[in-house]
Amino acid sequence: MIDPKKVRLMTKLAVYEEGPGKKDLKINCYSKRTYVNIKQLESIIAITVAYLLGLGLYCFGIYTDIISQGLKFPYQKYILHAMILYLIIIIIDFVCTRRYYTKVYDKMREDIKQYDYNLYRLARYIQKEEKDRA
């Protein structure tokens, strides 16, 4: 005999596991601090590589000036500006990444809490069933 309440509960669990739960259960393996720090590190590496590529494109634009002026080109000024811009970008990225992934982790924790609670309910329900049978 099929118990509709049990089926409803198991459906909720299955839908979560096959949907957002796939990503959430992976994130749940980490503590909040570790997860945010890992994402921060990934972000810094990605932004640094993107910045260097962008800088390379910019240097290509001023390539003729560099070649024509040679050693008279104000390298120090450009390097200083590039470093200041990089620092600004990294600081903005640091703040934004931290906030974003903290929110992602907090949302994940809410959903996992509900999922854990549904699992607990299912376990209690099965225990009650077995007790009734016995």
Partner 1 sequence: MMAQIVYFKEWLIVFYKKHVDVVLPVLKLVFAFFTMCMFQGMFPYNMVINKPGIFLVLSAAQAFLPISVLYYMISILIMINLWKVSMDIFLGFVIFSIICSLAFVRVDRKHAVILIVTAVMFYLKLEYLLPVLLGMIVGFGAILPAAAGVVVYFLSVYMTDVSTLLTTSSSSNFGMGLQRIVNLMLIDKKLLVFLITFSLIIFITTLLCHLFYERAWLFAIFIGHIAMILLLLFGRLIFELDYKIWRLFLEMILGIGCCYIYRFFRGIGDVSRIEKASFEDDEYFYYVKAVPKIKVTQKDRNVTDIKSGENEDDILFDDITEETDLFDGNREEAEKE
HEC profile for 8-24? Answer: HHHHHHHHHHHCCHHHH
Q: Does 134 bind partner 1 (CB under 8 A)?
A: no
Q: Interior CA angle at 38 toward 113 and 17, to 5°?
A: 35
Q: Does 47 bind partner 1 (CB under 8 A)?
A: yes
Query: Which of 6, 32, 98, 109: binder of partner 1 (CB under 8 A)?
Result: 6
* 3-state SS, residue 92: helix
CA distance 51 to 65: 21
Range in contact with partner 1 (rule: CB under 8 A) among 29-37, 54-62, 70-78, 79-87 = 54-62
Range in contact with partner 1 (rule: CB under 8 A) among 30-38, 68-76, 77-85, 114-122 = 114-122
Query: Which of 61, 68, 70, 133: binder of partner 1 (CB under 8 A)?
Result: 61
